[in-house]
Amino acid sequence: MTTVRAPRAPRPVILTDSADLTDPLELLTDVLVIGGGPAATWSAIAAAEAGASVVLVDKGHCGSSGVAATSGVGHWLVAPEVARRDEEIGRRERAGAFLTDRTWTDATLDVAWDRTAELPGWGWERRGVRGANRLFGTGPADRAFNGPAPDYLRFLRGKVKKSGVVVLDHSPALELLVDAAGVVSGARGYQRQVGRAWAVGAGAVVLATGGTTWKSHSLGGDVNTGDGHLMGAEVGAHLSSMEFSNFYGMVPFGTSMDKNGFFVHASYWDHTGAPIEYADLHVSRAELLSASTQGTITAQFTQFTPDLWPQLRAAMPNFFMVTDKLGVNPFTERFPIDWVNEGTVRGTGGLHVLDRSGTVGVPGLYAAGDVAARDRIVGAATGAGGPNLSWAIASGTWSGTSAARFARGAGTAGHRHGLTPAALTRTGTIGLHRAGPGTDERAWRSVVAATQAELLPITKSAFRSAASLTSTLTVLDRAWAAAPETLTGRGATEIRTREAAGMLAMGRWASRAALARTESRGMHTRTDHPDQDPHQTHRLLTGGLDEVWVAVDPELPVTGPQPVPALTGATS
């Protein structure tokens, strides 16, 4: 049998690649993908499959940086069978407090199911790696696709390279570029390891920069600082469900190891040794968080029988490496835990994607993965690992394909009309060098510290009230007003000032949306509004830079039998 290979995508055009590092690297391409995790790699692969030339730029090393690289692979895969889909989608609807959308969830599951089935043909089964990495089952029953994420991401990086994509590692993007008509047509950034600027002119751009953890030391998450969200907002994109951006992950005390799904079924005791009862840790961790404000709580994985221990250790070896070093057997011993704010990585807020093309409503700009809101598939609950990974495949495929079509359509591909980076307009606002020497390190560190002081503490972020949120916004708004003077980096420092600006912007959007939602729903807990309000069964949109706004999303959730009340208008 003859194997028919898809044609290799054309290579991007290199305009300048001087040995003099004072000269920026300049390229022209059809599609620019910003990011390097699962969503970014799936976007790049899809764009190349659609015949586009592609450049991928990553803040770290594509395939080994970010939160996904530190965990296990566990996609949410559900067979395309009506009863099974209805059961699974219904379960997510209830957990997500009925803010989800059945059509989006079903479409996400379809793409994840179909795309993962292609992996064996790409060589996944021939890698000779641990059996846990295999894709089990190809029939009508549900499939399981799990194992250590580094193998998976390394494989996707290889597929990206084989597809003809040019990969620039350690090259964070700083701002988007637009043409005279306002079409997003590239980006500029900085290559950290060689110390030079880069600029890419593109027919379309996909943002796949991940969520935001506000540098909480969530494992692998300190590279997720809101860069993509800020870049999108600066060209007019909006955000959705930012009030659900306060998810706390559990870690063995004194560590940053927050990658373990076993915690959701563990047993817990408060600081006095009394058992802690909880409902559903996928939805809310309020019971445990509240107990933690009184003293250190302990955990134990009591529900697993000894015959399962080897399998569980193989599925999450990095977690057990930590407990082994601590001298703890989590299956037989209680151990103290602490918390780390995983923000929008495990929360649901992000850029509002308008439809299943991946567009954010700005010509030439698309979003995929955790940078985009996952509210339509998980609502007010966390997407955790499985739904987020399936969303990365689906949104990456949609965005990469759509960006390629847009870029290669008539009159849109920048390089076809000589739109070099120098001919494009910079769109960045806060945190970028404009003139003068730039501020010193103390300035951006001060902004980061002030933002963290408002967004990371359990007493401020997990348990909210009108008074606490108003106080937080006063601090963050004041910092934003001063940012044009306090955040003006130069060279490599511009990366840090831009990260500080992204964290600050995300904090303002999250806090403003939380103030507008006057109820408790999912991971959003208001101490002054402890009940869930059926009249607020809608999603919230937010946006703006100097003036932040919040409004009810006119697109109603599409769920099962849960009644949805009529909307009453906007919330400011």
Domain boundary among 317, 341, 365: 341
- What is the structure's pLDDT at 299? 96
Question: Which H or E element spans position 351?
Answer: strand 350-351
Is residue 139 in some structural domain? no
> In the chain, how many H helices and how many E strands?
16, 20
SS (H, E, C) 161-186: HHCCCEEECCCCEEEEEECCCCCEEE
Is the same domain home to 203 and 285?
no
Is the same domain home to 358 and 318?
no
Looking at the 3D structure of the chain, how many domains does it have? 3
Is the same domain home to 310 and 293?
yes
Is residue 86 in some structural domain? no
Is the same domain home to 182 and 52?
yes
Domain that holds residue 300: 250-341
The pair of three-digit structure tokens given for residue 336, joined into one six-digit string: 């103290």
Q: What is the widest separation between alpha-carbon atoms in the chain?
A: 70
CATH number of the domain residue 232 falls in? 3.50.50.60
Is residue 132 in some structural domain? no
Rounded Cα–Cα distance for residues 529 and 233 (Å): 30
Is the same domain home to 396 and 446?
no
Is the same domain home to 387 and 360?
yes
Rounded Cα–Cα distance for residues 122 and 140 (Å): 21
- What is the structure's pLDDT at 142? 67
Domain boundary among 406, 426, 446: 426
**Residue type, position 364, single letter:** G
Is the same domain home to 473 and 486?
yes
- Tell which residue, 316, 347, 382, 371, has the closest CA to residue 71: 316
Is residue 122 in some structural domain? no
Query: Do the beta carbons of residue 270 and residue 538 sit within 8 Å?
Result: no
CATH number of the domain residue 446 falls in? 1.20.58
Rounded Cα–Cα distance for residues 184 and 103 (Å): 29
Intervals of the chain under pLDDT 50: 1-4, 126-140, 410-417, 563-572
Is the same domain home to 164 and 178?
yes
Please, which residues bridge with residue 34 across strands? 57, 207
- What is the structure's pLDDT at 146? 67
Is the same domain home to 261 and 231?
no
Is residue 391 in some structural domain? yes
Contact partners, residue 439, CB within 8 Å, separation at least 6 = 485, 486, 487, 488, 489, 497
Is the same domain home to 295 and 356?
no
Is residue 196 in some structural domain? yes
Is the same domain home to 370 and 323?
no
Assign 136 to helix, strand or coil: strand
Is the same domain home to 276 and 214?
no
Contact partners, residue 170, CB within 8 Å, separation at least 6 = 58, 59, 60, 61, 191, 192, 193
Is residue 125 in some structural domain? no
Rounded Cα–Cα distance for residues 72 and 153 (Å): 10
- What is the structure's pLDDT at 7? 63
Domain boundary among 341, 362, 387: 341
Is residue 128 in some structural domain? no
